[in-house]
Structure 1
Amino acid sequence: MGIGDKLSSFSNNVQEGVKSTTMTVLHISLRMITGFFVGMTLALIGQELIGYGTFALIFATIVVMAVIIKLLSQWSFAQILIFDLIVVLVGMLLRMYILVAP
């Protein structure tokens, strides 16, 4: 095994490591963004219904965000994106109901 083979093997290992790290960071980021938006939405709904303060709003957002992140930890990118699509569609349905309701 010559120096060229060792250098080629090293560069392949670096490429695989960068690819793996990038995919992990993207997966964590997608879960956090999804959790934040779902948490903030549910916390704002709770704040309007119950009328709690800012601290409770932040607490509810963080709790729901943590639950969503834990729930989505085993899901793939495609499953998380489908979940996001369903959540957006349900949100649009609720918005339409609010606008139409007397």
Structure 2
Amino acid sequence: MGIGDKLSSFSNNVQEGAKSTAMTIMHITLRLITGLLVGGTLALIGQELIGYGTFALIFATVVVVAVIMKLLSQWSFAQILIFDLIVVLVGMLLRMYILVAP
């Protein structure tokens, strides 16, 4: 095994490590964005219904983000995107209900 083979092997290992790291960062970012959107929405709904303050709003957002991050940790990109699509569709349905309701 010559120096060329070792260098090639090292280069392949670096590429695989960079690809794995990039995919992990993208997965964490997607879960975080999903959690922030769902958490912020649910916290705002709770604030309007119950009328709690800013600290409770932030606390509720952080708790929901943590729960969403934990729940989505084993899901793939496609499953998370389908979950996002369902959440958006439910949100649009609720918005339509609010606009139509007397």
1:38 aligns with 2:38: yes
Matched with 1:6 is: 6
Matched with 1:23 is: 23
Q: CA shift at 1:64, angstroms?
A: 0.5
Unaligned runs of 5+ in 1: none
* Cα deviations by residue, 1:44-100 (Å, 9 ceiling, x for unpaired): 000000000000000000000000000000000000000000000000000000000
Alignment length (residue pairs): 102
Matched with 1:81 is: 81
Q: CA shift at 1:34, angstroms?
A: 0.3
* Dislocated runs of 4+, deviation >4 Å: none
CA distance in 2, matches of 1:94, 1:66: 24
Taking the TM superposition and a 5 Å limit, the aligned residue runs for 1:59-98 are 59-98=59-98
1:54 aligns with 2:54: yes
RMSD: 0.4
The share of aligned pairs that are identical, in percent, is 88
TM (norm. structure 2) is 0.99
1:28 counterpart letter in structure 2: I
CA distance in 2, matches of 1:70, 1:18: 24
Unaligned runs of 5+ in 2: none
TM (norm. structure 1) is 0.99
